Amino acid sequence: MTRVMRDSDTPSAIPVRGTDIVAGYVSGGATWPPKAYNRFRGIPHAHIDCLGTKPGKAEILDVEDNCATVPQAVSWVRKRKAAFPGAYPPVIYCNGSTLPLVFSAMRAAGLHVVKDFRIWLATLDGRKSIPDMTGIIAVQYKRAPEFKPNGQLEAPSGSITAGHYDESIVFDKAWDPGDDLPYTKKQIRHWVQQGVAAEVGARRTRTGIQGLVRQGVAAELSAADGIPGVSAAQGAAAAVHAGAALAGVSDQLTALAAQVAALTKTAASSTDGLPGSNGRSVANT
């Protein structure tokens, strides 16, 4: 199943309806203000590093004129991988003419497409694919309309959007911009659920359990903001205060709190489902 991703230097220009992933800038002149993502609650947020200076805060590096260069892309990919070991590979945005240069520079540096990095390709002419799609997770096939020489704005078409935003089709269903932390959301949920089950079994209070859940999530989100040598404690603090970069985690915590409340209520009314009663575990329900 493919998804629609939209990006713009003007957040308010992107329509919420029909947007499956929204992408904004964390560096450069088009940097989105912290609250720009608030319009897109419940929609995965992708982050674009235009200048190549924030590998710890963006899943995507923009390699084009007035943004990052091909040599910068090599360094950025290395820093991103070091900051988020085991996460989804860093994504490089570029057009068709730049793609061979990116591949060549990455190969020379010992970095391999698919394994070490992926590509978000810009065609901007209506084409949604190229003959060799190796490592290409998304194609930006529509651009924002421009004014014609006669002063009229271009009409929407197969290669032009209806507003001041670009549109891409995302092919890789495994790519989740909010999942590029040292551990995936699935892993974090599993560990937190195990901890909740253990604490419910020990008959802890709801407040105590929720506190432990938040501590556990904060500890697991030990993202170091792309700076080598950052301790786990510093990384956890950076993750908790990352704001827009971790907006999706807020929704996750809310969902987890609801799970805790439900589990606590169940434990208060019956011991069924707890370890030691009939062999079932809350973590497996």
Residue 119: enclosing H or E segment and its boundaries?
A: strand 118-122
Q: State the Rg of the chain over Cα.
A: 22
pTM for the whole structure? 0.66
Q: With CA atoms as reference, report the closest residue to 244 among 34, 50, 47, 58.
A: 34
> Within 13 Å and on the Cβ side, how many CA atoms surround 135?
20
Question: Is the per-residue pLDDT at 67 higher than 60?
Answer: yes
21 SS3 class: strand
pLDDT tens track for 106-160: 999 999 999 999 999 999 999 999 999 999 999 999 999 999 999 999 999 999 9
pLDDT class of 256 with cuts at 50, 70, 90: low
Domains annotated for the chain, with CATH where assigned, are: 3-179 (3.20.20), 185-284 (no CATH)
Give the model's pLDDT for residue 178.
72
Mean pLDDT of 182-189: 58
pLDDT in tens, 164-175: 999 999 999 999
DSSP H helices in 202-246:
206-220, 232-240
| Residue pLDDT, tens place only, 74-105 | 999 999 999 999 899 999 999 999 999 999 99
Q: Report d(CA 117, CA 91) in Å as an integer.
A: 6
